[in-house]
Amino acid sequence: MRNFLFSLLLAIPIIAMSQSASAEPVLGSNFVLKDTAGVKHRLANYKGKWVLVNYWATWCSPCLEEVPDLVNLYDHRRKKDLMVIGVVFDYESLQSVKAYVDDMLVSYPIVLGDDSVTTQIGAADVMPTTFIYNPQGELVKIKRGLLTKAYIEKIIGQNQP
């Protein structure tokens, strides 16, 4: 009886660990984000392209500073090898976001950030934060802070076949 109880005590943590590990999704492994135009963006749909998911806020100065580089990357590479998805957090209203996006000439899709987004992709400790996925759909980098065109081109260049 003593051996049985000892075995049972050892087995309970192992069973609990295996159940929690299998129930936990891999963050960002196949997200689905709906943008302000109603279009759904699935990571799986962008196989063969680099995907940048950029968390930002309208009050964030570094976010404002990186927008032109993100627009430039998106405009020049979207048909070739890159997708940019902006996710805005801590906003007043959809109208204020649209006004900001228009003022900044943002051409890439914008998603309104919420718990669904952070559950799928991950949370950010700072703004901006960019999640960088390779053409195979694997998260390869989380860049906290200001992002530049040169930084992204360096990552893409280092990972070319």
Going from the N-terminus, what domains does the chain have, and what CATH number goes with each? 26-158 (3.40.30.10)
pLDDT of residue 158: 78
* Structure tokens given for 128: 């901006």
Least confident of 14-28, 78-92, 112-126: 14-28
CB 70 within 8 A of CB 52: yes
pLDDT computed for residue 22 by the predictor: 34
Query: Per-residue pLDDT for 67 more than 70?
Result: yes
pLDDT confidence of residue 114: 96
Q: How many CB atoms lie within 10 A of CB 121?
A: 25
| Average pLDDT score, the chain | 86
Identify the pLDDT of residue 61. 96
For the chain, where are the alpha helices, taking DSSP H only?
2-23, 61-77, 94-103, 115-120, 149-158
State the pLDDT at residue 30.
86
